[in-house]
Amino acid sequence: MKNQKNRETDFAKGLEGIVSNTTRIGYVDGEAGKLSYRGYDIEDLAEHSSYEETVYLLLNGKLPTLSELEEFTDKLKGNRTVADEVMNRITHLPCPCHPMSMLRSGISLLECIDDTCRIAEDLEEKKEAGIKLIAQTATLTAAVARHLQEKEPVPPDPALPHGANFLYMLRGERAKPLEERVMDLSLILHADHGMNASTFASMVVASTLSDLHSAVSSGIATLKGPLHGGANERVIRMLTGISSIAEAEAFVEKVLAEKTKIMGFGHRVYKTYEPRAKILQGYAKKLTELTGNEELFEIAQTIEKRVTEAYGSKGIFPNVDFYSGLIYHSLGIDESIFTPIFAVSRIAGWVARILEYLEDNRLFRPRAVYTGPTDLPYVPVRERG
Ligand code: CMC
């Protein structure tokens, strides 16, 4: 390399540790193992709130009054329907593509038929489009899941809250109260999580003043990747590949001896037991008892105990994906739909952070350190050797 002209030689690969903006939406304290939305601890929200209330909080910065919550819940319910034109198209795609690609295509199609997607300067109008998309993403995801089982979509039930209705649209029948509670809880726990890759991607698109559907599509595209949204699928493959406690013990000794990464453990930010995993662990126990998957829970516990004994001092503990996979599996959901469910929830965080950023927008435009050659002589094509 000659004539390195760039003065900036310091950089953070993957923007690791770089602070790009301020936010009032949520905070992840990796050392303390704490997560909060708008100042409210996730443990309180998990225990007392609902997904609808959590979304209202993320979008509006305060907990709603009873009448505000009722109005907001009605608005979500009223926006659940997805036009047949979109449903027909995503269920007639030419290939059996990944459910996240089907979902992303569905969101793009909604943009093309939906007048709320026109590029609005007005943040209130964008918020309304966001609320509509939050409602429709659950409907689209359920339709994708049923299509993969060669079943017809189930229309939303306006009598049901968001999580319960989502399960209903997946199954075609009402779930048990504990199952509905666990789905609602999981949606609350995944709704926002700092400046993760999909949130950042959606904010970059929004910062160009592109429309909300395009920004959300890029969030879905980013979440699809196995380094981001896909770990819980791998956890359940690992757990269901083990058929007894004795096999789990042998498995964990083998992976520890081989020093291979164990799916569902470790986190870039949390260096202690993370709160989402802790909350889901308790519900995974109850749910597996209800659904007859107790042995799978015991297998998970066996792996957790031994891995944390070995790696706890290095800050490696189960992460949210360790238990969310077990939960969705116990709810009878196919592993290919685990990442789309993540999107059904996280869309709230994407929309909230996009709207907040647009209040004082600045186009994202980082730079790169150029390391290629410079001042090369141009040789016409016929004279090149
Ligand atoms: N199993 C065994 N060892 C691990 C694991 C693991 N799951 N994760 C990290 N380590 C070790 C790693 O081998 C390294 O050891 P050493 O210092 O001896 O070389 C040390 O811990 C640091 O690893 P790292 O990969 O540099 O740490 P990181 O903070 O960049 O990794 C991670 C975070 C999530 C990429 C990683 O822990 C991992 O690959 N885990 C498995 C995949 C997984 O469960 N992903 C879901 C993440 S949570 C989802 C979300 O919040 O959105």
Whole-angstrom distance, CA of residue 46 vs CA of residue 49: 6
Please count the structural domains in the chain. 2
- Provide the CATH number for the domain around residue 248: 1.10.230.10
Question: For residue 218, is it within any domain?
Answer: yes
Answer yes or no: 98 catalytic: no
Of the candidate ranges 7-21, 263-277, 278-292, the one whose mean pLDDT is the lowest:
7-21
What are the angstrom distances between the C-alpha of 129 and each of 38, 56, 119, 120, 340? 22, 14, 10, 10, 20
Same domain, 348 and 295: no
Whole-angstrom distance, CA of residue 215 vs CA of residue 226: 20
| CA 318 to ligand 1 center in whole angstroms | 10
Q: In which order are the strands placed within the sheet that holds 40-41?
A: 26-29, 34-37, 40-41
- Provide the CATH number for the domain around residue 353: 1.10.580.10
Q: Which pLDDT score is estimated for 2?
A: 40
pLDDT band at 10 (very low <50, low <70, confident <90, very high): confident
**Nearest protein Cα to ligand 1, atom 32:** 267
Same domain, 150 and 35: yes
Same domain, 113 and 166: yes
Q: What is the mean predicted confidence (pLDDT) over 303-326?
A: 95
Task: Using DSSP, state whether 336 is helix, strand or coil.
Answer: helix
Question: What percentage of the chain reaches a pLDDT higher than 90?
Answer: 87
Q: Which residues' Cβ are closer than 6 Å to ligand 1?
A: 193, 196, 231, 261-268, 311, 314, 316, 319-321
| CA 258 to ligand 1 center in whole angstroms | 15
Same domain, 222 and 209: yes
Same domain, 98 and 205: yes
Residue 311 C-beta-side C-alpha neighbours within 13 Å: 25
* Marked catalytic residue, from 228, 329, 334, 375: 228
- Residue at token pair 């609902």: 50
| Mutation choice for ligand 1 from 28, 198, 199, 265, CB with most ligand atoms inside 8 A | 265
| Residue-number span of the structural domain to which 268 is assigned | 231-330
Question: For residue 372, is it within any domain?
Answer: no
The burial of 165, by beta-carbon neighbours within 10 Å (0-12 exposed, 13-18 middle, 19 or more buried), is given as buried
Q: Which pLDDT score is estimated for 115?
A: 64
**Nearest protein Cα to ligand 1, atom 36:** 266
| CA 264 to ligand 1 center in whole angstroms | 9
Same domain, 270 and 205: no
- Residue at token pair 């027909």: 88
Handedness of CA 101, 102, 106, 107 (dihedral sign): negative
Whole-angstrom distance, CA of residue 114 vs CA of residue 167: 26
Same domain, 91 and 78: yes
| Mutation choice for ligand 1 from 258, 268, 324, 350, CB with most ligand atoms inside 8 A | 268
For residue 152, the tally of other CB atoms under 10 A from its CB is: 11
pTM of structure = 0.94
* Marked catalytic residue, from 267, 334, 360, 375: 267
| CA 202 to ligand 1 center in whole angstroms | 25
- Residue at token pair 């789990």: 248
| CA 261 to ligand 1 center in whole angstroms | 7
Closest ligand 1 atom to 266 CA: 37
Q: Where are the alpha helices (DSSP H) in the chain?
A: 42-48, 51-60, 66-78, 84-90, 99-113, 123-148, 162-171, 177-189, 197-207, 212-223, 231-240, 245-258, 275-291, 294-311, 320-330, 338-358
Q: Which pLDDT score is estimated for 92?
A: 87
pLDDT band at 343 (very low <50, low <70, confident <90, very high): very high
| Mutation choice for ligand 1 from 28, 29, 227, 261, CB with most ligand atoms inside 8 A | 261
Q: Report pLDDT digits (tens) over 24-73.
A: 999 999 999 999 999 999 999 999 999 999 999 999 999 999 999 999 99
CB 236 within 8 A of CB 326: yes
Same domain, 317 and 302: yes
Question: For residue 296, is it within any domain?
Answer: yes
The burial of 94, by beta-carbon neighbours within 10 Å (0-12 exposed, 13-18 middle, 19 or more buried), is given as exposed
Q: Which pLDDT score is estimated for 230?
A: 82
**Nearest protein Cα to ligand 1, atom 3:** 261
Q: What angle do CA 297, 301, 303 make, to 5 degrees?
A: 120
Question: For residue 10, is it within any domain?
Answer: no
Handedness of CA 345, 346, 349, 351 (dihedral sign): negative
Task: Using DSSP, state whether 371 is helix, strand or coil.
Answer: coil
| CA 268 to ligand 1 center in whole angstroms | 7
pLDDT band at 8 (very low <50, low <70, confident <90, very high): low
Whole-angstrom distance, CA of residue 156 vs CA of residue 136: 10
Of the candidate ranges 5-14, 199-208, 308-317, 318-327, the one whose mean pLDDT is the lowest:
5-14
Same domain, 55 and 184: yes
Question: For residue 373, is it within any domain?
Answer: no
Question: For residue 379, is it within any domain?
Answer: no
* Marked catalytic residue, from 162, 192, 321, 329: 321
Same domain, 143 and 243: no
Question: For residue 324, is it within any domain?
Answer: yes
Same domain, 198 and 300: no
For residue 268, the tally of other CB atoms under 10 A from its CB is: 12
Closest ligand 1 atom to 322 CA: 44
Q: Which residues contact 234 (CB under 8 A, 6 or more apart)?
A: 226, 263, 264, 325
- The radius of gyration of the chain from alpha carbons, rounded to an integer in Å, stands at 22
- Residue at token pair 């509670």: 181
**Nearest protein Cα to ligand 1, atom 44:** 264
Answer yes or no: 213 catalytic: no
Q: Which pLDDT score is estimated for 298?
A: 97
Tokens of 263: 């799916």
**Nearest protein Cα to ligand 1, atom 19:** 259
Question: For residue 276, is it within any domain?
Answer: yes
Mean pLDDT, rounded, of the chain: 93
Among the listed residues 334, 336, 287, 38, the one whose alpha carbon sits nearest the alpha carbon of residue 184: 287
Tokens of 230: 């896909």
The burial of 286, by beta-carbon neighbours within 10 Å (0-12 exposed, 13-18 middle, 19 or more buried), is given as middle
Same domain, 53 and 199: yes
Answer yes or no: 190 catalytic: no
